[in-house]
Structure 1
Amino acid sequence: MSITLSTRLRDVRGSAIRDLLALTARPEVISLAGGLPGNELLPRERIAAALAAAVTEPAAVQYGETAGLRSLREVLAQHESRRLGRAVDPACVVVTSGSQQALDLVARALLDPGDPVVVEDPVYVGALQVFQAAGAQLNPVPVDADGMAVDVLADRLARGLRPRLVHTVSNFHNPRGATLSAPRRALLAELAERYGFLVVEDDPYGMLAFDGSPPAPVAAHGDRVVRLGSASKVLAPALRVGWLAGPAPLCAAVERLKQSTDLCTSSLTQLVTAELLADDAWFAAHLDQLRTALRERATALTGALATVFGDAATGSVPKGGMFCWLEFSDGTRPADLLPRALEHGVGFVPGTAFAVGQDLSAAARLCFASNPPGELHTAVERLGAAWRAGGT
Structure 2
Amino acid sequence: MPQSLARRMEGLHSSAIRDLLTLTARPDVVSLAGGLPDPEFIPRERIRKEAELALADPASVQYGETTGLRKLRDVLAAREGAKIGRPLDAADVVVTHGSQQALSLLAQVLLDPGDVVIVEEPAYTGALQVFRAAEADVRSVPLDADGIDTAALQGMLETGLRPTVVHTVSNFHNPRGVVLAAGRREHLAALADRFGFWVIEDDPYGELFFDGPPPAPVAALSDRVIRLSSASKILAPALRVGWLHGDRRVCEAVELLKQGADLCGSSLTHQIAAGLLSDESWLDLHLEMLRARYGSRARALADGVASTFGDRAGVSSAVGGMFCWTEFTSADVDTAALLQTAVEHGVAFVPGSAFGVAAEHRSALRLCFATCSEDVLTGAAARLGDAYADHAQS
* TM value normalised by structure 2: 0.98
Match of 1:233 in 2: 233
**Partner AA of 1:73 in structure 2:** R
Give 3-state SS (helix, strand or coil) of 2:261's partner.
coil
Match of 2:45 in 1: 45
Match of 2:18 in 1: 18
**Partner AA of 2:340 in structure 1:** P
Match of 2:119 in 1: 119
Match of 1:329 in 2: 329
Match of 2:373 in 1: 372
Give 3-state SS (helix, strand or coil) of 2:392's partner.
coil
Give 3-state SS (helix, strand or coil) of 1:314's partner.
strand
Q: Which residues of 2 match residues 293-372 of structure 1 at below 5 A?
A: 293-330=293-330, 331-372=332-373
Give 3-state SS (helix, strand or coil) of 1:123's partner.
coil
**Partner AA of 1:378 in structure 2:** G
Give 3-state SS (helix, strand or coil) of 1:229's partner.
strand
Deviations 1:312-336 (A, max 9, x none): 1110001100000000013321111
Cα distance, 1:378 vs structure 2: 1.4
**Partner AA of 2:15 in structure 1:** S
Cα distance, 1:212 vs structure 2: 4.0
Match of 2:242 in 1: 242
Q: Which residues of 2 match residues 214-233 of structure 1 at below 5 A?
A: 214-233=214-233
Deviations 1:160-204 (A, max 9, x none): 011111000000000111111000000000000001111000000
C-alpha distance in structure 1 between counterparts of 2:235 and 2:106, whole Å: 24
Match of 1:384 in 2: 385
Cα distance, 1:359 vs structure 2: 3.0
Q: Which residues of 2 match residues 140-151 of structure 1 at below 5 A?
A: 140-151=140-151
C-alpha distance in structure 1 between counterparts of 2:310 and 2:210, whole Å: 25
Gaps of 5+ in 2: none
C-alpha distance in structure 1 between counterparts of 2:47 and 2:5, whole Å: 40
Deviations 1:40-99 (A, max 9, x none): 111111111111111111111000000011000000001101111111111000000000
Deviations 1:279-312 (A, max 9, x none): 0000000000000001000000001001111111
Give 3-state SS (helix, strand or coil) of 2:138's partner.
strand
C-alpha distance in structure 2 between counterparts of 1:121 and 1:15, whole Å: 17
Q: Which residues of 2 match residues 97-246 of structure 1 at below 5 A?
A: 97-246=97-246
Match of 1:270 in 2: 270
C-alpha distance in structure 2 between counterparts of 1:47 and 1:25, whole Å: 27
C-alpha distance in structure 2 between counterparts of 1:98 and 1:391, whole Å: 41
C-alpha distance in structure 1 between counterparts of 2:294 and 2:3, whole Å: 46
C-alpha distance in structure 1 between counterparts of 2:85 and 2:49, whole Å: 32
Deviations 1:18-61 (A, max 9, x none): 00011222111111001001111111111111111111111110
**Partner AA of 2:24 in structure 1:** T
C-alpha distance in structure 2 between counterparts of 1:5 and 1:376, whole Å: 44
**Partner AA of 2:23 in structure 1:** L
How many pairs align? 392
Cα distance, 1:12 vs structure 2: 2.0
C-alpha distance in structure 1 between counterparts of 2:361 and 2:313, whole Å: 14
* TM value normalised by structure 1: 0.99
Cα distance, 1:350 vs structure 2: 0.3
**Partner AA of 2:171 in structure 1:** N
**Partner AA of 2:295 in structure 1:** R
Cα distance, 1:2 vs structure 2: 3.5
Match of 2:72 in 1: 72
Give 3-state SS (helix, strand or coil) of 1:260's partner.
helix
Match of 2:84 in 1: 84
Cα distance, 1:361 vs structure 2: 0.5
C-alpha distance in structure 2 between counterparts of 1:359 and 1:132, whole Å: 18
Deviations 1:88-143 (A, max 9, x none): 11100000000000000000001110011111110100000000000000111111
Give 3-state SS (helix, strand or coil) of 2:10's partner.
helix
**Partner AA of 1:158 in structure 2:** E
Give 3-state SS (helix, strand or coil) of 2:174's partner.
coil
**Partner AA of 1:152 in structure 2:** A
C-alpha distance in structure 2 between counterparts of 1:154 and 1:368, whole Å: 34
Give 3-state SS (helix, strand or coil) of 1:206's partner.
coil
Cα distance, 1:14 vs structure 2: 2.1
C-alpha distance in structure 1 between counterparts of 2:191 and 2:391, whole Å: 47
C-alpha distance in structure 2 between counterparts of 1:114 and 1:280, whole Å: 44
Q: Let me know the Cα RMSD of the aligned residues.
A: 1.0
**Partner AA of 2:122 in structure 1:** P
C-alpha distance in structure 2 between counterparts of 1:70 and 1:391, whole Å: 57
Give 3-state SS (helix, strand or coil) of 1:390's partner.
helix
Cα distance, 1:3 vs structure 2: 4.2
Is 2:7 the counterpart of 1:7? yes
Deviations 1:339-382 (A, max 9, x none): 00011111100000000001311100000011110110111111
C-alpha distance in structure 2 between counterparts of 1:355 and 1:87, whole Å: 38
**Partner AA of 1:4 in structure 2:** S
Match of 2:259 in 1: 259
C-alpha distance in structure 1 between counterparts of 2:244 and 2:174, whole Å: 18
Deviations 1:191-228 (A, max 9, x none): 00001111000000011111341110001111110000
C-alpha distance in structure 1 between counterparts of 2:3 and 2:80, whole Å: 45
